[in-house]
Structure 1
């Protein structure tokens, strides 16, 4: 049995017209000899009546601080509505479609409500349905604890659901359908000549996702990578081939390996605050540890960390800045906050041990008079903190400098 998992995002199931396009994608998979497993997100985006954000808003009209467990009970509903309607659409076309919740589909999680982690995925029920020639239509974003509590997997969780199901079913491929034709070298709203990538490695797409690209959830990629399940990001609204995510080097039509570029894409994160903590000689030797321990105990995540004698620099999401500053001041630290910052990153598996990559990165920004507030790099990415007002110019200059339009 050749199994393919097809995940459809919120815009792909939002109206009868679009659901007909989904139907055709499922029919095509069957015509090609696959047994499709369909995974769906809640219908539409914020403002749509059954979108997850809309449901959260309804719950919070009663109490803004509603408990995470109770919030999961209403967040569960969006995908259930979507899956029932999509199953009905397939049934109307003559398919034997069966709607399953995440729990029905065997996705077992821990009890971290709103952001649960998958502990195991038992595909027994799905395999039974496939052997009967039926099409499972599964609620993405959902799981269930061992003792039957409903859980959700965090934002982007439908991608994670699809990938986990693909891995447990040993699927030939997981298709992630969205409203774009694939993963692009940069945000097309900023870079007019951004291109669709034909192929990208698991590691590169994880880096792009972690650094701000809204392409696919990194947890989904990490799960697929464990079993080397190919992922394809493509559009519900076209027949474009999309972007293949895999470890296998893709070959062009002439049989020659694709050119190994230094960089694959440029991405960015906004709404960032830089914090500088000043340390003096009178402080204990473990002062740096205490700074990060204070933030960790308050569930505040940090990024772009630089530790120097006498000073620590790091960044946090602006939503947590006021709370972080208060915590650190209460501990007696002198701090400086720089608001309205953004993180811009160049990602590429080809930059490992290549001389001059950082020089090119800095040159691109300096030539455009973009202030560099902080940098950090790894084997596959270089990130820089810049004023948020310079994001567009930074992304454009780096995209051009690294030849991503060609």
Structure 2
């Protein structure tokens, strides 16, 4: 069977009109000879009646503290409501449809409530319904343990569900429908002339997602990449072709038309982070001192990022929300750190930058021309990061987008 997985986000399902548009996309896939398997998120966002955050807020308004197991039982209801309504919308078009929960779809996870990982999928129930000519609608974001406990997959979990089903069904393609026309060169709310990209590599979109782009969850990309299943990011509200996500070999071998001089694919950012600096030059056994700093953060469950380790000092960033905790841990160790809150990490991502001279020079030049101070920098084969003050984040993104606009 020629499966295609179509995932629709909550904003694509929040009204009868939008659900009708989604049903039309599903009908179109059937007309093209595909067997659609539809994955849905909960309807809407915080404030909408059946959104996941609304359900949580309702339960917690009276000061209740929900245990992780019980919060998963509550949170998985949003996708069930959404899936039942979407199946009805598909049936309204004259096409048979059936809704399956994560458990009914055979999605087995570990027991990490609120942030479970999919261990395996038994797609027999999906395949049985598909052979009967039905469109199968599956609740995203959820699964079940081997013992029958309901779990949820964490933020972006519906994307992960779609990718995992695509792999389990050996789908021809996974389509992620959102409210934008694809992956953009930058956040269009910040850069007026940001534009959608025709094609990106798996690695590029993983980097963009990890560094703040919110169109697709990086875990979903990693799952699809393992089996080489193409992803396409598309808009529910238009017929735009969207952005194809595929392997670097497909992009650069010439099978897909892409300009060879696209050094930078996109500019993205993460804000609300705090930089912490610890002077180590007078610490005696410097390697042991450095080890104790990061071990203390790990034991406290604090994720550190943007790490620069030098003989004289250690730099790293944490989220603003845990900065006070991180600082107190260091103080308890007898360390007096230098703290700079409200920073932003701005990233320039591009698979083609590897080995290209002058990329960092252009980044420094673009920011210097705007009088923006670079607080830290780091790079990999596909990404260059700079840390700036949060008040300079928007200006930095616009400056870098303009500097590389001819190479994007």
- TM category (shorter chain) comes to over 0.9
- Aligned equivalents of 1:384, 1:11: Cα separation in 2: 32
Gaps of 5+ in 2: none
Mapping 1:92-111, distance limit 5 Å: 92-111=92-111
1:337-375 CA-partner distances (Å, limit 9, x unpaired): 101110100000011111111111111111111011111
Query: What's 1:399 paired with?
Result: 401
Q: Offset of 1:21 from its aligned partner?
A: 0.4
Q: Offset of 1:404 from its aligned partner?
A: 5.1
Q: Kindly indicate whether the alpha-carbon contact (under 8 Å) linking 1:140 and 1:157 is maintained by their aligned counterparts in 2.
A: yes
- Aligned equivalents of 2:261, 2:404: Cα separation in 1: 12
1:112-147 CA-partner distances (Å, limit 9, x unpaired): 111111111111111111111111110000011110
Question: Alpha carbons of 1:318 and 1:255: their partners in 2 closer, same or farther (altered >3 Å)?
Answer: closer
Q: What secondary structure, in the 3-state scheme, does the structure 2 residue paired with 1:249 have? A: helix
Q: Kindly indicate whether the alpha-carbon contact (under 8 Å) linking 2:272 and 2:320 is maintained by their aligned counterparts in 1.
A: yes
Q: Kindly indicate whether the alpha-carbon contact (under 8 Å) linking 1:40 and 1:139 is maintained by their aligned counterparts in 2.
A: yes
Query: What's 2:250 paired with?
Result: 249
Mapping 1:180-199, distance limit 5 Å: 180-199=180-199
Q: Kindly indicate whether the alpha-carbon contact (under 8 Å) linking 2:303 and 2:318 is maintained by their aligned counterparts in 1.
A: yes
Query: What's 1:53 paired with?
Result: 53
Q: Offset of 1:183 from its aligned partner?
A: 0.5
- Aligned equivalents of 2:234, 2:104: Cα separation in 1: 27
Q: What secondary structure, in the 3-state scheme, does the structure 1 residue paired with 2:385 have? A: strand
Query: What's 2:296 paired with?
Result: 294
Q: Offset of 1:64 from its aligned partner?
A: 5.3
Mapping 1:158-173, distance limit 5 Å: 158-173=158-173
Q: Offset of 1:298 from its aligned partner?
A: 1.1
Gaps of 5+ in 1: none
Q: Offset of 1:258 from its aligned partner?
A: 3.0
Question: Alpha carbons of 1:404 and 1:174: their partners in 2 closer, same or farther (altered >3 Å)?
Answer: farther
1:277-297 CA-partner distances (Å, limit 9, x unpaired): 122534444111111111111
Structure-1-length-normalised TM-score: 0.97
Question: Alpha carbons of 1:283 and 1:70: their partners in 2 closer, same or farther (altered >3 Å)?
Answer: farther
> Within the alignment, does 1:33 sit opposite 2:33 as a pair?
yes
Q: What secondary structure, in the 3-state scheme, does the structure 1 residue paired with 2:36 have? A: strand
1:295-352 CA-partner distances (Å, limit 9, x unpaired): 1111110111011123110001100001111111111111111011101000000111
- Aligned equivalents of 1:143, 1:39: Cα separation in 2: 13
Q: What secondary structure, in the 3-state scheme, does the structure 2 residue paired with 1:137 have? A: strand
Please give the root-mean-square deviation of Cα atoms over the aligned residues, in Å. 1.8
Query: What's 1:148 paired with?
Result: 148
- Report the count of equivalent residues: 406
> Within the alignment, does 1:268 sit opposite 2:269 as a pair?
yes
- Aligned equivalents of 1:299, 1:139: Cα separation in 2: 31
Mapping 1:4-403, distance limit 5 Å: 4-63=4-63, 65-247=65-247, 248-250=249-251, 257-284=258-285, 285-403=287-405
Structure-2-length-normalised TM-score: 0.96
- Aligned equivalents of 1:278, 1:192: Cα separation in 2: 41
